[in-house]
Amino acid sequence: MIVNSLSLCYHNKLILAPMVRVGTLPMRLLALDYGADIVYCEELIDLKMLQCKRVVNEALSTVDFVAPDDRVVFRTCEREQSRVVFQMGTSDAERALAVARLVENDVAGIDVNMGCPKEYSTKGGMGAALLSDPDKIEKILSTLVKGTQRPVTCKIRILPSVKILHLKLEDTLSLVKRIERTGIAAIAVHGRKREERPQHPVSCEAIKAVAETLSIPVIANGGSHDHIQGYLDIEDFRQATAASSVMVARAAMWNPSIFLKEGPRPLEEVMQKYIRYAVQYDNHYTNTKYCLCQMLREHLESPQGRLLHAAQSSQEICEAFGLGAFYEETTRELDARRGKLLARSPEEVEEPAEDTSGIIKMAVKFDRRAYSPQITPKMCLLEWCRREKLAQPVYETVQRPLDRLFCSVVTVAEQKYQSTLWDKSKKLAEQAAAIVCLRSQGLPEGRLREEGPSLHKRKREAPDQDTGDPRAQEPVLPGELCKKPFLALASGKESPLEGW
Ligand SMILES: Cc1cc2nc3c(=O)[nH]c(=O)nc-3n(C[C@H](O)[C@H](O)[C@H](O)COP(=O)(O)O)c2cc1C
């Protein structure tokens, strides 16, 4: 039997189960804080991962696997490196191995999902569909065991021939014996059949039969709600299934402090801690919101639940939980860190300089809160161009690979305008460019409490100054305007409705 050299021990462990959307970095770190020994990431599909580039994110101190559309598909950090298991969805041994090799230096273990009954997984021959193709299972697992340095595991469900009362388990037991022979380090067994849903009882007997048959560690799963409601129940479930370890999904999603020996922490405290990690690691706000909704569950109709439901940004989520100041402070620190990285000489980042001398620049940012929701600088600029019978403004936006921030240049009457501050999104960068154009022309830009719309009413402001927005007081970063190579994102005529 082949045994991987760099083994993560799967004996006697508390494990955070793989959960799509839930098992992202903030949740995994939180589960570790509360006592989980091993944390699985959400299932990530092989084809998606194979499009990703591994990027060291110096500002966040993370390693990111970034898709061509610039989405971070998998983000991890040193803190979890020895405890995180990467779960993939695959139906092909070669692809599986390519993914394992892509991530193996950043994770502690590689897992193959063989239990997901959802159509998006099974129709590609992945997840639970694999259970009816033992030859493929064998090929995938033995290829991984031979080809990766990390311990390989898989997560299965029990097979349909199981009859709980008579313990007719031949199919499941012969499958797991075959799986064990591939040399995997452990196997997680969700004690339900493929067509069963969480409301069906989990079969502790089936998991136990597997545990008594195999010599590798068996990880019992499926106990949330009926068996596992608190920390002590985890050990009871382990004993009832005679398993080596227990993997918890829903109970941990509802309150990750379930792993805490001393008992669970109040949900409010847990959610705050979760949010702090989410902000610190720049988690996408929709994912943060989803996870918080799972925790709030029956309190979604509470005033806090309503605020969460309405939140459209990480900042608004923070404000709903009384963490507005924390958000400000953390994003300021992150911006400063990014600034320092950017201040490194262009030679360090091997970017040729670009002549930007003909562009009018100011250090401004678009702060939504300072503008009326119906009027944005882009709208004002478009309106002004129409009135002056000028061609529509043309925005060209670039993204800097180093930190993936955006900068937009707007061209109006053959003159280019640009903010020297980089933004988190293309939309914000375009608004900032529009502000530079409007301010340098002394035009109204739609700020709240701004004087009437007449042209040339505002006093001209000197370039590189901004009077209103505190964030715009940030220093212009040396060399930031000549960073290359840029990833050109968009160039085209402004549509009156776009981005508003
Ligand atoms: C929101 C959610 C997402 C899930 N995503 C995955 C997944 O990505 N991979 C996987 O193998 N199982 C996934 N599962 C199944 C769980 O890992 C687990 O097998 C199941 O919930 C039973 O465990 P429990 O009783 O502790 O909840 C998911 C479950 C939930 C609730």
The verdict on whether 116 is a catalytic residue reads yes
The half-sphere exposure of 248 on its side-chain side, counting CA atoms within 13 A, is 36
- Ligand 1 atom nearest the C-alpha of 252 is 26
Mean pLDDT of all residues in 19-32: 98
| Residues having CB within 6 Å of any atom of ligand 1 | 17-20, 22, 42-43, 87, 113, 115-116, 155, 190, 221-224, 248-251, 253
Taking all residues of the chain, what is their mean pLDDT, rounded to a whole number?
A: 86
pLDDT over 50 at 479, yes or no: no
* Separation in Å, CA 355 to CA 333, 420, 479, 483, 492: 30, 14, 12, 11, 21
pLDDT digits (tens, 9 = 90+) for 118-131: 888 888 899 999 99
Distance 297 CA to ligand 1 centre (A): 17
Amino acid at 386: R
Average confidence (pLDDT) over 26-39: 98
Residue 275 in contact with residue 292, Cβ under 8 Å? Answer: yes
- Check: CB of residue 279 under 8 Å from CB of residue 331: yes
Dihedrals φ, ψ of 219, to 5°? -105, 115
Rounded CA-CA distance 39/77 in Å is: 13
The answer to which of 201-205, 329-333, 353-357 has the lowest mean pLDDT is 353-357
Higher pLDDT, 352 or 393: 393
CA distance 399 to 426: 8
Q: What is the pLDDT of residue 399?
A: 79
Cα 282 to ligand 1 centre (Å): 24
Question: Residue 53 has what pLDDT?
Answer: 94
Assign 271 to helix, strand or coil: helix
- Beta strands of 122-194 (E only): which ranges? 152-158, 186-193
Both tokens of 280, joined, read 């610190």
| Ligand 1, atom nearest to 192 Cα | 22
User: Which of 28, 69, 27 has its CA nearest to residue 48?
Assistant: 69
How does residue 486 score in pLDDT terms, banded at 50, 70 and 90? very low
**Helix (H) or strand (E) segment spanning residue 428:** helix 426-440
For ligand 1, atom 21, the nearest C-alpha belongs to 249
Question: Which residue is catalytic, options 52, 77, 116, 437?
Answer: 116
Task: Identify which of 70, 63, 144 has the alpha carbon closest to the alpha carbon of residue 111.
Answer: 144
> What does the radius of gyration of the chain's CA atoms come to, in whole angstroms?
27
SS3 call for 448? coil
pLDDT tens digit string along 53-110? 999 999 999 999 999 988 999 999 999 999 999 999 999 999 999 999 999 999 999 9
- The residue whose CA has the least distance to atom 3 of ligand 1 is 19
Q: Highest-confidence range of 2-6, 355-359, 457-461, by mean pLDDT? A: 355-359
> Do residues 159 and 130 touch, judged by C-beta distance below 8 A?
no
452, two tokens: 């009437």
Whole-number Å distance, alpha carbon 19 to ligand 1 midpoint, is 5
19/39 Cα distance (integer angstroms): 10
Average pLDDT of the residues in 213-219: 98
Q: Is the pLDDT of residue 351 over 50?
A: no
How many CB atoms lie under 10 A from the CB of residue 491?
Answer: 12
Please report which confidence band the pLDDT of residue 497 belongs to, taking 50, 70 and 90 as the band edges.
very low
The residue to which tokens 């196997």 are assigned = 187
**Which residue's entry shows tokens 């990467």?**
86
The torsion angles phi and psi of 330, rounded to 5 degrees, stand at -70, -40
**Structure-token pair, residue 201:** 């009882």
Q: Which tens digits make up the pLDDT trace of 417-465?
A: 999 888 888 999 999 999 999 999 899 998 887 654 443 333 333 333 2
Report CA(61)–ligand 1 centroid distance (Å): 28
> Which tens digit of pLDDT belongs to each residue from 166-195?
556 789 999 999 999 999 999 999 999 999
Bridge partners, residue 416, by sequence: 411
